[in-house]
């Protein structure tokens, strides 16, 4: 599987046609990611694309046409999805700090809300005029995935701590309209090991079983969140979809008490592969023995490497030759503006670099306002 949605010739053509820096997303690759995952999942598993990974309108429409559901986490995302006029029951709304107007719109649109604490339940109950089914987001104990993004199972801004759930359920019993009818628990990020994902999911199903058996919660849905990983380097193995799908089916078989729906909310897995980011080299320099290439764009367009230390895969378009360790820096006046230390051929001003798997957490997470450089265009490519 290539880490780049476009060939060298296509990258050159895109750069000429649209200028650089730019992002490009390829429809056929987004469709292939969605279909490959869909194909291995049991029918009872619903795919809800996490809009935060990339809210580009064409990408959303592409997934909607494949019958995707959507996971939103802000007013803006809810509005983008509302514009697609989907049928009922295809939208979820999560987020640790939901504002009044967000909850109001979510109620109006009939989206399924992932309540992150008693405050969400209480505020919804006060707004609702008829019964509302919600999912309770629980921050599980004993799930050590080691993610910097979600923070493992230590203290967390997300959800209700598992040990606090009995108390919350007792208080929720007095609410008039709001009914807890699902569990949302999510403890993985960029996880490419099917066994690790399945172990986390098994742990969440055990938690669901306790909620059902010990506390009598009627569960229509178990939402396992996102976290399905993609490779960011040639030597990283992709998630084994067959093992994942088979394992999920076996998990469902081990829990015959649960006859509802399972929701998966992948963002990265569905969107990352379809995107490339193209930027040219502005300067090359040596500093105290280190080779630098300074590019037209940096963390103002691709912030993730600075946040996670994980560079995006990168290729020098149309260039070959011996590889040299090169630090890729952006044009911003901060030493945080680094896209990684990578092995590339000799670079010169004007050379085009293509960054792969940037369809997720690329443009959407960029700091485009910082230093007021031009905002890169996002190009949607239909095959």
Q: Is 50 in the site for ligand PLP (CB under 6 A)?
A: yes
Q: Is 145 in the site for ligand PLP (CB under 6 A)?
A: no
- The Cα 162–Cα 169 span in angstroms is 11
85-114: which residues touch ligand PLP (CB under 6 A)? 94
- Among the listed ranges 17-25, 50-58, 230-238, 364-372, the one in contact with ligand PLP (CB under 6 A) is 50-58
Select 94 or 354, whichever has its Cβ closest to ligand PLP: 94
Q: Is 116 in the site for ligand PLP (CB under 6 A)?
A: no
Q: Is 273 in the site for ligand PLP (CB under 6 A)?
A: no
The CA angle 37-195-96, to the nearest 5 degrees, is 70
Q: 365-374 — which CB contacts under 8 Å span 24+ positions? A: 365/303, 365/304, 366/299, 366/300, 366/301, 366/302, 366/303, 367/299, 367/300, 367/303, 368/300, 368/301, 370/299, 370/300, 370/332, 371/300, 371/331, 371/332, 371/333, 373/297, 373/300, 373/331, 373/332
- Select the residue interacting with ligand PLP from 267, 298, 330, 356 (CB under 6 A): 267
Cis peptide before 21 (omega within 30 of 0): yes
The residue count for the chain: 383
- CA end-to-end span of the chain: 18
H-type alpha helices, 223-359: 241-253, 268-271, 304-308
Q: Which residue is nearest to ligand PLP (CB)?
A: 226
Select 184 or 315, whichever has its Cβ closest to ligand PLP: 184
Neighbours of 12 (CB within 10 A): 16
- Among the listed ranges 79-87, 118-126, 244-252, 260-268, the one in contact with ligand PLP (CB under 6 A) is 260-268
Contact (Cβ atoms closer than 8 angstroms) between residue 355 and residue 275: no
Contact (Cβ atoms closer than 8 angstroms) between residue 277 and residue 358: yes
Q: Least distance from C-beta 271 to ligand PLP, angstroms? A: 8
- Among the listed ranges 1-9, 34-42, 239-247, 263-271, the one in contact with ligand PLP (CB under 6 A) is 263-271
- Among the listed ranges 17-25, 232-240, 266-274, 342-350, the one in contact with ligand PLP (CB under 6 A) is 266-274
Q: Least distance from C-beta 161 to ligand PLP, angstroms? A: 17
Instruction: Tell me, by CB under 6 A, how many residues bind ligand PLP.
Output: 16
- The Cα 193–Cα 234 span in angstroms is 16
Select 313 or 330, whichever has its Cβ closest to ligand PLP: 313
- Among the listed ranges 46-54, 125-133, 332-340, 350-358, the one in contact with ligand PLP (CB under 6 A) is 46-54
Contact (Cβ atoms closer than 8 angstroms) between residue 106 and residue 84: no
Give which of 130, 176, 137 is closest to 157, Cα–Cα.
137
Q: Is 182 in the site for ligand PLP (CB under 6 A)?
A: no
190-229: which residues touch ligand PLP (CB under 6 A)? 225-228
Select 23 or 93, whichever has its Cβ closest to ligand PLP: 93
51-90: which residues touch ligand PLP (CB under 6 A)? 52-53, 71
- Select the residue interacting with ligand PLP from 23, 25, 93, 186 (CB under 6 A): 186
- The Cα 171–Cα 129 span in angstroms is 20
List residues near ligand PLP by CB under 6 A: 50, 52-53, 71, 94, 186, 189, 225-228, 265-269
């Amino acid at each position: 599987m290539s880490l780049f949605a476009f060939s060298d010739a296509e990258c050159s053509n895109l750069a000429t046609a649209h200028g650089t820096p730019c992002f490009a997303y390829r429809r056929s690759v987004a469709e292939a990611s969605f279909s490959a995952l869909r194909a291995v999942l049991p029918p009872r598993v619903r795919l809800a694309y996490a809009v935060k990974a990339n809210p580009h309108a064409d990408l959303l429409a592409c997934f909607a046409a494949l019958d995707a559901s959507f996971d939103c986490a802000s007013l803006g995302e809810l509005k983008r999805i509302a514009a697609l006029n989907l049928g009922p029951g295809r939208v979820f709304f999560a987020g640790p700090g939901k504002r009044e107007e967000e909850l109001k719109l979510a109620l109006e649109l009939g989206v399924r809300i992932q309540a992150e604490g008693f405050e969400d339940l209480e505020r919804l109950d006060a707004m609702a005029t008829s019964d509302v089914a919600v999912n309770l987001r629980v921050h599980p104990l004993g799930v050590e995935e080691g993610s910097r993004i979600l923070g493992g199972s230590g203290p967390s801004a997300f959800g209700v701590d598992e040990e606090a759930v009995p108390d919350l359920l007792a208080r929720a019993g007095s609410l008039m309209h709001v009914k807890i009818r699902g569990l949302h628990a999510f403890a993985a990020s960029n996880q490419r090991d099917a066994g690790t994902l399945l172990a986390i999911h098994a742990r969440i199903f055990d938690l669901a079983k306790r909620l059902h058996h010990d506390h009598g919660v009627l569960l229509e849905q178990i939402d396992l969140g996102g976290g399905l990983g993609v490779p960011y380097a040639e030597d990283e193995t992709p998630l084994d979809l067959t093992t994942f799908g088979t394992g999920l089916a076996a998990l469902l078989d081990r829990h015959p008490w649960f006859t509802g729906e399972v929701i998966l909310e992948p963002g990265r897995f569905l969107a990352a592969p379809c995107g490339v980011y193209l930027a040219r080299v502005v300067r090359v320099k040596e500093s105290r023995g280190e080779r630098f290439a300074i590019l037209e764009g940096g963390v103002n367009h691709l912030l993730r490497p600075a946040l996670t230390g994980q560079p995006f895969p990168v290729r020098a378009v149309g260039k070959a030759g011996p590889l040299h360790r090169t630090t890729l820096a952006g044009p911003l006046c901060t030493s945080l503006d680094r896209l990684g230390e990578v092995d590339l051929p000799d670079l010169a001003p004007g050379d085009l670099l293509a960054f792969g798997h940037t369809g997720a957490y690329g443009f959407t997470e960029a700091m485009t306002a910082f230093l007021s450089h031009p905002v890169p265009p996002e190009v949607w490519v239909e095959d």
